[in-house]
Amino acid sequence: MNITIESSKLVKPTYNNGNNAPSTNHHVRLSVFDKVTYNIHDGAAIHAFNPPTRSNSDIEKGLSKVLLEYREWAGRLGEDEEGNSIIFLNDQGVRFVEATSDSKLRNVLPSKPTKEIQSLYPSLDGVQELLQVQLTRFACGSLVVAITFHHQIADGQATGNFLAAWGLATRDLPIDSTPLCTRSTLFQPRDPPLIQYDHHKIEYMNKMYPKHTINSDHESNEEEIVIQKVHFTNEFINKLRAKASTGVPKHFTRFEVILAHLWRVITKARGLHNHETTQIRISVNGRKRMDPQVPNEYFGNLVLWAFPRSKVKDLINRPLRYAAELIHDEVAKVNDMYFKSFIDFASSDIIKKEGLVSTAVMNKKILSPDLEVDSWLTFRYFDMDFGSGSPYYFMPTYYATEGMLFILPSYLGDGSIDAFVPLLNDNLDTFNMCCYSLD
């Protein structure tokens, strides 16, 4: 994929009247949910748009306008005098890269994430910006928009809302939902605190805990990992739901049965021993789980994790319902009481006294026998519209981490679902043989 960088600049919020510009000396503290999540800056999804599209200048102006509401993206991370992690609201700007290609997009865009798509993203070398954008124009007139961002600023829900708002601003339309930027004050501990759950080795762990242990028979390099795209039709999903939900009062969700199915298939493909334990790290959005509910417009992170686990022999030999129930029950436990217990725990001095660090790290190439999954099924990524309609193609970035799954709505828009599954080459044949089987 031959990509030429044409320009790179910083885009800052544009205020209609300089006298109304807010101070650039303020800052906001990161919340307990911001601090526990992945402390990394990396790529998100790519969005491909059919021609004709708005000009780069129009899209840049839209970004400048939407940053009035989402100022934190234009700031920088740092610490205050007390050592607290903060976002400086200094309006230093978002990196905006313009690029071109002499190829037709359909000739070079792979159907699944590969190393080649990394050229569609801004470079991460020495990045200080909290958000970066690259617009790549192709010879056919198609436009690809790719972003990178720092995960401590926003979760998937918040980022999807921002992308939808950026499209509206580009079209000179009012933002349909103003972001709720209250991360510094919204999640206060109770008085007295009530830590009802053990958060050690769940959200936090001791610094001496072996973080780079690989629980598989061999290590691997990136060249041995391939990302497989799996397309689940509505018909297949309905058959999975019917099979898993036999004898239960309420059908399992589409997410629960797809993940249960993939968990079993990947475990078979890995050839794990019967006595081994396998688990999934599942991101759980707290907005609708807390009481009172947090509005969907909340901008920041509000995610904890569920960890269903099973012996390999039980997962493979017992019916699909068993895996779906494990997933359902563990996610259900991450409820209002759990979120509030975590707030009390993370707001205390326990983390500092015991030298704890977050378990949300990405330092493994192989997660086997475990999995991690991010579901984008409810996010607003397809609402990103610069004036020519929603993206006609949508794909996560290239994560060469075996066992790191992404589940998202298909770009076909018919309710079907795509899963992106990184596997070792040696496991690919067995996975493909089992993936569309209902047995």
Which residue carries 């958000």 as its tokens? 131
For residue 408, give the 3-state DSSP assignment.
strand
Q: Can you tell me the distance from the alpha carbon of 426 to that of 225, in angstroms, rounded to the nearest whole number?
A: 9
Active site residue 151: yes
CB 312 within 8 A of CB 323: no
Pick the catalytic residue: 151, 199, 261, 328?
151
- Rounded Cα distance between 93 and 96, Å, is 9
Amino acid at 338: Y
Give the three-state DSSP class for 278: strand
Residues in the chain: 439
Nearest to 88 by CA among 79, 75, 73: 75
φ, ψ of residue 150 to 5 degrees: the values are -90, 125
3-class DSSP assignment, residue 262: helix
Q: Supply 352's token pair.
A: 């500092």
Catalytic residue among 34, 155, 385, 418: 385
Residue 47 annotated in active site: no
- β-pair partners for 150: 41
- Strand, helix or coil at 425? helix
- In whole angstroms, what is the distance from residue 171 CA to residue 179 CA? 18
Tokens representing residue 9 in the block: 């600049």
Neighbours of 298 (CB within 10 A): 24
SS3 390: coil
Reading the block at residue 141, the tokens are 């007139």
The tokens for 252 are: 């399992």
| Token code pair at residue 73 | 């993206």
Q: Cα(321)–Cα(243) distance, rounded to whole angstroms?
A: 8
| Gyration radius from the chain CA atoms | 22
- Alpha carbon 68 to chain centroid distance? 24
Residues 214-225 as b/e (b if ≥16 CB within 10 A, e otherwise) read eebeeebeeebb
CA–CA distance, 358 with 281 (Å, rounded to integer): 14
Bridge partners of residue 298, in order along the sequence: 180
Active site residues: 151, 385
